[in-house]
Amino acid sequence: MELAEIKKRVHEPQATAILAGWSLAIGWIVLAIYWLLAFPLSGVIREYFLRSKAERDGAAVGSALLATLNQIQVTSAFLEPLKFVGIMFIITGIVFILLTILKTLKLRAAAMATLFSNRSR
Amino acid sequence: MNQNEQLAKYTPFEKMLMSMARTMWPMFLMLGFVIVLLAFLIVWNLSQTQVNFFFSAAKAVREGSDPAYIAAHRAIQVTSAWIPGFKFLGMGLLFSAITFNLANILGALREAGARVQKMLGAEIKAWKKTFVALMFPHFMMIGLIVLIIAFVVSLNLAGSASTYFNNPIKDVLDAAPSNSALVRQLAAIQQTKAWLEPFKFVGVTFLLTGISFALATIRKVVQFQTNRLVEIGEGK
């Protein structure tokens, strides 16, 4: 590979680097949504558990207490996998960065090979 | 260029970070390894003793006033309060060991780059740090601090759980009226558990982002070095 070609390719934006950036950003957005839902839920949980067990267990259909329990259970159920979706995006971003490093290292190896072969001539 | 000459180019903060990265990664790795393994052994022991004992009895006996069952229930609840924070701290230390090693790779890359430029008789140019490069040690530190705080809170939670669950389930805990001291204690335990979980993930997210920033910095350094080799080849 000629030096001019290497120079051109060094400055070319790499698809894996762009994907890494997007993946990290999406991961942070998903986790921010998770935090926005999970932190306030702890207040709802506190309100719910301030009632006696008899009151909690005896909550009638359509009552505010049962609606609170429903909110806690439904939100907790989807929050559990949601945080791992966020972490998945961040780890995917790491994989894409590693792929970008691999490509850049190959390019550096090509640059070294070209430079040293030019110098030995 | 030897290591001392190379180090002379760094700011005192960078020198401190590099020295920490070189010396502290084995300790972090070992501590993380021991913590995660210890957490497993504690829970395994609990499952074979207290959990096995507690759940081999009928519900009426488990929830009754027998001190042996109250103690078993208390042990289960206390352990489940502090062990998750402990495990996350162990994982945080392992992630930090990764970040430290990535920082070591970066230091080695910069040193090697300077050596190659010197060997080729060219002017030694160093890569100018970007925001990502400046931020990765901070992300690692924030992540680890968050996990340490989470562990301290979970120890406090275990203390509250120890007091609350030191009572018979049916006659005392279940019978506590609304807004009583016992019910308020339960509400505080449940609330802490609820916010502690996302809080731990704040720490993990910062640590993983720190790792990704360190890797992005490695990529930038390699890219800079490739470009520098091309420049040297062009006689610049």
Picking from B195, B209, B216, the nearest residue to A90 by CB comes out as B209
Average pLDDT along chain B: 91
Q: Which residue of B has its CA nearest to A76?
A: B194
The pLDDT assigned to B155 comes to 97
pLDDT in tens, B108-122: 998 888 888 888 888
Domain count, chain A: 1
Q: Are B219 and A97 in contact (CB under 8 A)?
A: yes
Q: What is the mean pLDDT of residues B37-64?
A: 95
**In this complex, do B205 and A28 lie within 8 Å of one another by their Cβ atoms?**
yes
Per-chain mean pLDDT for chain A:
93
Enumerate chain B positions whose Cβ falls within 8 A of a Cβ in A: 120, 173-180, 183-184, 186-188, 190-192, 194-195, 197-198, 201-202, 204-205, 208-209, 211-212, 215-216, 218-219, 222-223, 225-227, 229-230, 232-234
* pLDDT of A119: 74
What is the arithmetic mean of pLDDT over B16-34? 90
Predicted ipTM? 0.91
Is A111 close to B226, i.e. CB distance below 8 A?
yes
pLDDT at B8 over 60: no
Give the number of beta-carbon pairs within 8 Å between A and B.
127
B11-22 pLDDT, tens per residue?
A: 777 777 788 888
CA-nearest residue of chain B to A114? B233
Inter-chain residue contact B198 with A83, CB threshold 8 Å:
yes
Give, in order, the Cα–Cα distances in Å from B69 to each of B161, B172, B176, B220.
Answer: 15, 14, 19, 60
| pLDDT tens-digit map of A3-55 | 888 888 888 888 999 999 999 999 999 999 999 999 999 999 999 999 999 99
pLDDT value, residue B220: 92
B92 against B235, higher pLDDT: B92
What pLDDT, in 10s, does the model give residues B127-155? 888 888 889 999 999 999 999 999 999 99
pLDDT at A121 over 70: no
Mean pLDDT of B65-89: 96
Residue B205: name the closest of B129, B155, B150 by CA: B150
Residues A94 and A13: their CA atoms lie apart, in Å, by 17
**Are residues A108 and B225 in contact, defined by beta-carbon separation less than 8 angstroms?**
yes
**Whether pLDDT at B126 is above 90:** no
Note the helical H segments in chain B. Answer: 3-7, 12-46, 52-54, 59-62, 67-119, 131-164, 181-233
Contact A38 B177 (CB under 8 A): no
- Comparing CB atoms, the residue among A11, A93, A101 nearest residue B222 is A101
B9: pLDDT confidence band, cut at 50, 70 and 90? low
In this predicted structure, the answer to whether residue B98 has a pLDDT above a threshold of 90 is: yes
State the pLDDT at residue B10: 67
Residues of B with CB below 8 A from A51's CB?
A: 178, 183
CA distance, residue A39 to nearest chain B CA (Å):
5
Distances in Å between the Cα of B14 and the Cα atoms of A37, A106, B27, B103, B116 are: 38, 29, 20, 10, 22
Residue of B nearest to A41 (CA): B194
pTM of the model: 0.91
The predicted pLDDT at position A120 comes to 72
pLDDT band at B5 (very low <50, low <70, confident <90, very high): low
Predicted confidence at residue A21, as pLDDT, reads: 95
Q: What gap in Å lies between CA B146 and CA B142, rounded to an integer?
A: 6
Sorting pLDDT into bands at 50, 70 and 90, what band is A118? confident
CB contact under 8 A, A108 and B222: yes
Q: Give B129 or B91, the one with higher predicted confidence.
A: B91
At B183 the pLDDT is 95
Q: Where are the domains of chain B?
A: 3-233
pLDDT for res B7: 47
For residue range A51-101, list pLDDT tens digits in order: 999 999 999 999 999 999 999 999 999 999 999 999 999 999 999 999 999
Nearest partner of B137 among B148, B125, B129, B149, judged by Cα: B129
Domain residue limits at A23? 3-120
Q: Percent of chain B having pLDDT more than 90?
A: 72
